[in-house]
Every structure is written in structure tokens, then in C-alpha cells.
Structure 1
Amino acid sequence: MAKQGATFSAFAAQGSVYRISAVVLFVWALLHFLFSPSTPNISNEEAQAASRVALQHKIETAQVGEDGFKILAKDYFEDFYGAQECKISSTRVYNPMLKSDGSLMRPYCDSKAKLLDALSGGGRVGFNAPYHPRDCEYRWFSAEEACMILDRFDAVLFIGEPRMTANIYGAFNSLLRKNLAWGALKNWELNEQQRQRCRCDAQYTNPQCGGTSTGSGDHFIVDSTEILDAKEEGTKTGAPYVCNRVFHGIVNVNSEPVAQSTLEEIDEIMTTYHKTAKPVPIILQQGLSLGFNWDRSTKVMDAVTKQIESHEPNPVHRPVLWLGPQAAGHLKPPGAIIEQGNNALHHFSIELSKRARDRGFDTLNLYNMTLQADSFDGTMYGGDVSLTTAMMILNWLSRVESL
């Protein structure tokens, strides 16, 4: 009897082992199915939905900062090269207003028109505080999400002035390279002394590093082809883009009439990269080099867009975003106050936005966003403003229609 009981216990123990093994095998199979490399790629909409869920989780687990707003638990810049060295976190420039329970106080902007109105008409709760759009929120995309947004286009083209648009395009490159230390620059051109002198905010504020008044001799990246062969972080050539499948670049325009060489450069880009029915979005900014003269700036706007129309007559396939100028800082030289002071800038923004809309363009005014931001010379702004503007442009690109 005792022998039979022992035999039964042995079988029972063996059965338990089988059951445990079966459970382990089932769990392994389930995990293998869920995380198999053969899982189909998710769509842009699904990725954005996942991003919203992730953001909500960050909000729910956030701590309240000194200004009364919650600080997101995860910083979007935490894995960016130079984030600690440059002492910049995304919460310093992007911090949505929240309710006491951690939920968003306002919804995300549900259309492109509302998005641009909100971004143009917002404000800051204190000098250099995070910028808050009016009425609804915009998103802060990860570099991977930005890649999916760019994949919807044949190319993305910035057209503007070395001392205005170049900083914004430089920040656009920093976001795609996940590099805050020198992501705007062709750092492989710099010797060690220049690399140290041009790091962090200096890449935007030091004329020996980034854009100059003439646009000559600077180290800003001009287009995405320049770092196609860039190696991994920390090497001599520096960091590549997170993705480099879609051409993007900047064409400098600082004269009226527009130079023939500039028009030929636009021709070459459109001929080379506009190969499908995907759109080629244009980000256009003008005014500083022309003293914010309404009519001369309008002539530049028309000359540039006429050249683009010769390659793509369908406006749906060449959406244009007109960028208004930044506000004048308190260090603006007295001799420039009449032509470039805030009174002149505000009227220029209103009038040129109207003319741009009359031509079917979208508009994003940067006056409110920079009115309470620190400018190092009264005209130009550093990384905080440039990165914020670049992210606003990515938000616009996410709403542009595409195939």
C-alpha cells in the first residue's frame, strides 16, 4: 500500500512538472508571437496613438514643479547626446498644462488650422517659461516618430535667410540626429578647439560656429546628404540621422530680386528629389535682410513659389508654411528699432501672414512665442527657441496631406 502511494505521488509530481512545462512553453510562445521581428510595421497613426498613451502615462506619474505645473517623468531629450552637458530638458521648453489629477487641461489640436492658430497665438507664464499654445496642445514627437512623418514626403525644403531660418533648420537637424551638443553643425569640419567653443547653445549664438550675416564660412548643415556617411556618436565625423530616407535641406535667400543661382538651386532640388506624387513641403521665411519691408518680402515670396510651381503646379503637392519673424529682444541695437523693433515686426507679421494666406499658404507666426524669450543680441535666439520652432514645424508636417 505504501508502495502504491509512493508511485501515485511520483506520477502526481511528474504531472505537475508537465503542467509547469506546458505553462512555460505557452508563455514563451505568446511572447515570441508578440515580439517576433516578423510583426508588421505599425502605421504612423498607430505610432502617434501609442505616443499619446505613453505621454498620458508620463503625465500620470509626473511630479509638480515650482511653477505649479507637472514635470513629465520622462524627458524627451534624456537619450540625446549632450543633454546633460548642455543642461537642457524638453520639459524646459514643452510642459503641457495639466489638471490636478494629472490629465491634460486642454485637448490636442484636432485640425491643422486650429494647430497653427494655437501655436501662433499662445504665450508664456513668465519670462523664458515653457511656451503654451492657445486653446489646445501640440505634441512633442520622438525622433522615431519624426522619421515616420518625413517618410510621407519626397523632400522637405526650408527656404529663408541665414540669420533667421538657418537656426531653425539647424535645430531640425539636432532633433533628427538626437544631438544637442552640435547636431546643427558639420562637426567633422571643426578642430578640437572649435568643437569645444561651438557646443550646445554656442552652435546657434556664436557666428564663428553657425549662421553669419552673409551665410558664408559657417558650419551649419545645408542638407541631409552632407552626413549620409557620418559614423556613430563620438567618432570624428559625428552622429548620423536616426533616419535618412527623405531629403531635406535649406536654400538661403537674402536678396530681392532673388539671385538666379538661388532659383537654379531650387530647380535642382525639385528635379532631383520630386519623383513621385508625394508632396514636397516648403517652409518659407523672409524679411530680416530686407528690413521687414512688406512689398520686397512679398516679391521674394512670389519669385520663390513661382519657381517651385514650374516643377509642381498642383498646390496639394507643394504645401507652403510661411514663418513669421521672431520678436525683437531688449538688446536690439537702437539704430535698428525703427525698422526691426517690435512695433514694426508685429505689423509685418500680420500683413505678410495675410498675403501668404491669400496665396493659399499656411502660416505660423513666431512673434508671441519669442516675445518673452531671451535673445542674446536682440535679433537671434538660442537652442530653446530654435528647437521649439523645429518641433512646431514637425507638428505642421504631421498634418499635411499625403498619399
Structure 2
Amino acid sequence: MFHYNQKYESVPTTPAGTPHTWSPTSTRSKISTWSLTRRRIALFACGVLVFFFLYSLHSSYAGHPPHRQDYLTNPVTYNATFTPHAAFQPPESLPHRYSDTIDTFSSYKYRNTCNISSLDLHAPFAPLCPDRESMVTAMSSGGRIGNDAPYMPRGCDMRWFSTEEICEILARFEKVIIVGDSMMRHVIGSINVMIRKDLGYGAVTDWNFSPEERKDCFCNYQFNVKACSIQGIFKTADVVKNDPDSVACPARSIDVMIEQMIRFPIAPEELDRLRSLLPATKPSRPYAFIFGHGLWNDLDLQATLDWLDTILDTMLSQAPWLSPSSSVSSSGSPISHKRKRDKGFWPRLFLTPNAPGKDKPDEWIITQGNKAIMIFEESVGIEVRRRGLEHLGTWNATVQSNKFDGV
């Protein structure tokens, strides 16, 4: 007899006569195992970019490099010999690049069952990007050498953080608030997979699953928008409350959440929920904000900008300490918006939608096809930078990858 709280440690078998199988057979008949194991590659990469973004923000905010744990100071044993005229050089022989060269998923639950390695997602190389600005540019411009090949930024490389590093980075912030649509739900899902070290159920509320939900929302299927979106984890606080042993981070050290605001105009109750997350007085640690929007308003640039402006205005009205005019330097002169953002107190990153897949319904090809998304990404990048936000484009990173549902 299967108990609701029981977790699979290997591939479950389906008893004869059971009306449902371990994975939806109709889906597997259309898509190969290869494409399924990589259909959320770009979203994992986006999740890792969020960590790099937060890591570099806090370094400048604190004014000194963060302390490195012992596991980051061990000698590097891999061969990092420089190869003349090679297209890509091996990653630098530095302690903090070690996790870039190994499968950091090797200790995750269901690693072999789900059949995915971190090295399937990202191929490390040298040089490492020196700062956040070059990192965002490199990731927006990067891509793959072949369909479903590991992702590589352009010009300089990103870090692939271990779970221990991810926990350390997130703990530097009072809250990390993700605001947006279904794409952002996948981003927070990927973050939860990594902080729970669980490739099978890390993104979903598996602690209250029925036996059928355990079958339908396992491995890549936990990201299935139609079948498993309701079971998605929207707040790390929910995991801490219901399944604390599954969180690899120290107890009560992180607070990551998503507020779903999918279209403009924004419903008043959604803005009220956002206000409730922001204290009226300045917290001891900085907040970080990750935004994503576009498809639910058919890539209407003005609608997206109105969506963003409404959210930013709501934040500033509720939390005046977010305004650059609310702070002064030690000499008494106002701190500029750019300088304050660089110091990490008002960090904001905007993600634009990924490239569509071949299974995208034909009715959306004109309004949400590749050309429309490329134009939208370029236009949004210009506009959000004018508002003091940083922008990560995802079209390049996703155009050569299979998408499970075409979206």
C-alpha cells in the first residue's frame, strides 16, 4: 500500500490494471526522452543567473568580497591547460570554479531516474565574466552549439553555483521577490529544485500529493503548466513549514517567493498582496526583485511598460525607503539612483520571454512568434534600463532547445 507521505527512491512501477501510468503515455509518444530531460534547460540557466545577479549585488553592497567556505578553497584537480587557438578555453584553475566543472546534481534526489546532469545544462569555459553587467550581456547574447546542446554565454562565462553557495547568496537578502507570469513560476520552480536538492519533486508541494499526483508531476512533468501548476511552490516559507527537512539551506535563512501578476491592467487584490510584502521602514538586509512579463499581453510593449510602472509605483508608495531620495551618503549628499542600485539595496532584474518551440499553436505565430519576441526583447531592454532595471534576454538561450509544450 502506498502512503501519501512516502517518497519514491527509484522508478515506481505501475501495477497491472491501474488506470494511470507512471508518465503520460500520450506525451511520451510525441516527445523523446532526450527532449524531455532538457526542456527546461534555459529556465535552470535563468535561475542560476538570478544567483549570480544577487551574488554580485551583495558584493558591491557590502563593500568587500564575501567569505568563501572551506569547500571553495580546496585545490582544483582538473586540467585547465591553456589551448592556443581553441574556440573555448577550459575554465580557470581557481577554487571557486570547481563546481562549474562537475555534475552538481549528483547528490540530488532522483538524479539517475530523472536522467539530467548540470553539465547537460551548462558547459564551462574561460574567461569568467568579471562583473554583473558583463554577465547579463553575455547571458542575453549566448546560445548553444547545436540543438539541445549545453548553454554557453557569449564572450565570458557564468558561474554554476552549488546548492551551498545558492543558500549563502539567498541568505544575504531579507526577501527575494519574483513578480510575473508562468515563465517566472518556472524560474522559482528551478530555484526550489536546487535548494531542495530534488530533481523529482523539488518544484512542487509533494508533501500533500496523492499517488496519482506523484506520478503525474514527477521529474520534468512537475513543470507541466496544465497538470501541475496548482501544486507549484510559490514561497520557500511553505516548504519550511510543511517539509523543513527537504531544505538544504540553514533553518529560516532564506525567503524567496513569487507574486503572480500575469497581465495589465493588474487586479487590485494582486497589488494589495504585493504591498503586504513590503515593510514601511527600511529592513536590515536588502530586498531583491525579479520581474518577467510579456506573453499574457501578446507582447504589447506599452502594456508591459504600464504593468512594470504600476508595480514600481506601488512599491515606492508602500516602501519609501526604496526611493533613491530616501538615502544620503556619509557626507550628507544624496545617493544617486544608479549608485544606490549598484550598492545592492534596490536590485531589479527584468526577464523577457523565451523563444517559442515548434509546437507553439499556429494562432500565436504572428503575435508571439520568434520575430515578435526578438523585437519585444530588444525594445523592453531599452525601456527597462531607462527605469534603472537590468535586463536579461532569454531568446538566444532558448531558440535551439526543445520545448515540451511549444511555449
Instruction: Answer whether TM exceeds 0.5 for this pair.
Output: yes
SS of alignment partner, residue 287 of structure 2: coil
CA distance in 2, matches of 1:197, 1:110: 42
SS of alignment partner, residue 201 of structure 1: helix
Correspondences of 1:248-397 after superposition (within 5 Å):
248-271=256-279, 276-310=283-317, 311=319, 312-314=322-324, 316=341, 317-379=345-407
Match of 1:45 among 63, 66, 73: 66
Q: Which residue of 1 aligns with 2:127?
A: 107
- 8 Å Cα contact 1:325/1:365 also seen in 2: yes
Match of 1:83 among 111, 131, 135: 111
Note if 1:228 corresponds to 2:240. Answer: yes
CA distance in 2, matches of 1:141, 1:126: 24
CA distance in 1, matches of 2:209, 2:304: 35
Does the C-alpha gap of structure 1 residues 165 and 206 become closer, same or farther in structure 2, counting only changes over 3 Å? closer
Q: Larger radius of gyration, structure 1 or 2?
A: 1
- 8 Å Cα contact 2:163/2:248 also seen in 1: no
Match of 1:175 among 169, 172, 194: 194
Does the C-alpha gap of structure 1 residues 364 and 53 become closer, same or farther in structure 2, counting only changes over 3 Å? farther
CA distance in 1, matches of 2:304, 2:133: 24
Does the C-alpha gap of structure 1 residues 44 and 193 become closer, same or farther in structure 2, counting only changes over 3 Å? farther
Q: 1:229 is aligned with what amino acid?
A: K
Q: Which residue of 2 aligns with 1:205?
A: 224
**CA drift at 1:266:** 1.0
Match of 2:170 among 133, 150, 157: 150
Q: Give per-residue Cα distances to partners, 1:174-224, cap 9 Å, x unaligned.
A: 1111111010001122111211221100001252112xxxxxxx1111111
Does the C-alpha gap of structure 1 residues 58 and 199 become closer, same or farther in structure 2, counting only changes over 3 Å? farther
Q: Which residue of 1 aligns with 2:158?
A: 138
Q: Give per-residue Cα distances to partners, 1:23-63, cap 9 Å, x unaligned.
A: xxxxxxxxxxxxxxxxxxxx973427963766x434559xx
Does the C-alpha gap of structure 1 residues 118 and 322 become closer, same or farther in structure 2, counting only changes over 3 Å? same
CA distance in 1, matches of 2:176, 2:225: 27
Unaligned 5+ runs, structure 1 = 1-42, 62-67, 98-105, 211-217, 234-238, 380-403
- 8 Å Cα contact 2:104/2:117 also seen in 1: yes
Q: 1:146 is aligned with what amino acid?
A: I
CA distance in 2, matches of 1:44, 1:192: 47
- 8 Å Cα contact 2:101/2:119 also seen in 1: no
Q: Which residue of 1 aligns with 2:45?
A: none
**CA drift at 1:129:** 0.4
Q: 2:163 is aligned with what amino acid?
A: A
Unaligned 5+ runs, structure 2 = 1-63, 82-87, 92-99, 325-336
- 8 Å Cα contact 1:44/1:145 also seen in 2: no
- Per the normalisation by structure 2, the TM-score is 0.71
Correspondences of 1:113-128 after superposition (within 5 Å):
113-128=133-148
**CA drift at 1:70:** 8.1
Q: 2:236 is aligned with what amino acid?
A: S
CA distance in 1, matches of 2:269, 2:248: 28
Does the C-alpha gap of structure 1 residues 191 and 292 become closer, same or farther in structure 2, counting only changes over 3 Å? same
Q: Give per-residue Cα distances to partners, 1:343-391, cap 9 Å, x unaligned.
A: 0000000001110000010111101000101111211xxxxxxxxxxxx
Does the C-alpha gap of structure 1 residues 227 and 49 become closer, same or farther in structure 2, counting only changes over 3 Å? closer
Q: 2:240 is aligned with what amino acid?
A: L
Q: 2:140 is aligned with what amino acid?
A: S
User: Superposition RMSD on alpha carbons, in Å?
Assistant: 2.6
CA distance in 2, matches of 1:374, 1:49: 38
CA distance in 2, matches of 1:49, 1:111: 23
Does the C-alpha gap of structure 1 residues 132 and 277 become closer, same or farther in structure 2, counting only changes over 3 Å? same
- 8 Å Cα contact 1:187/1:195 also seen in 2: yes
- Per the normalisation by structure 1, the TM-score is 0.71
Q: 2:286 is aligned with what amino acid?
A: P
Does the C-alpha gap of structure 1 residues 165 and 335 become closer, same or farther in structure 2, counting only changes over 3 Å? same
Q: 2:348 is aligned with what amino acid?
A: V
- 8 Å Cα contact 2:278/2:315 also seen in 1: yes
Q: Which residue of 2 aligns with 1:193?
A: 212
Q: Give per-residue Cα distances to partners, 1:305-347, cap 9 Å, x unaligned.
A: 1111221223532211010110011111111000000000000
**CA drift at 1:262:** 1.0
Does the C-alpha gap of structure 1 residues 340 and 166 become closer, same or farther in structure 2, counting only changes over 3 Å? same
CA distance in 2, matches of 1:172, 1:227: 13
SS of alignment partner, residue 130 of structure 2: coil
CA distance in 2, matches of 1:263, 1:206: 24
- 8 Å Cα contact 2:355/2:396 also seen in 1: yes
CA distance in 2, matches of 1:69, 1:44: 26
CA distance in 2, matches of 1:145, 1:195: 29
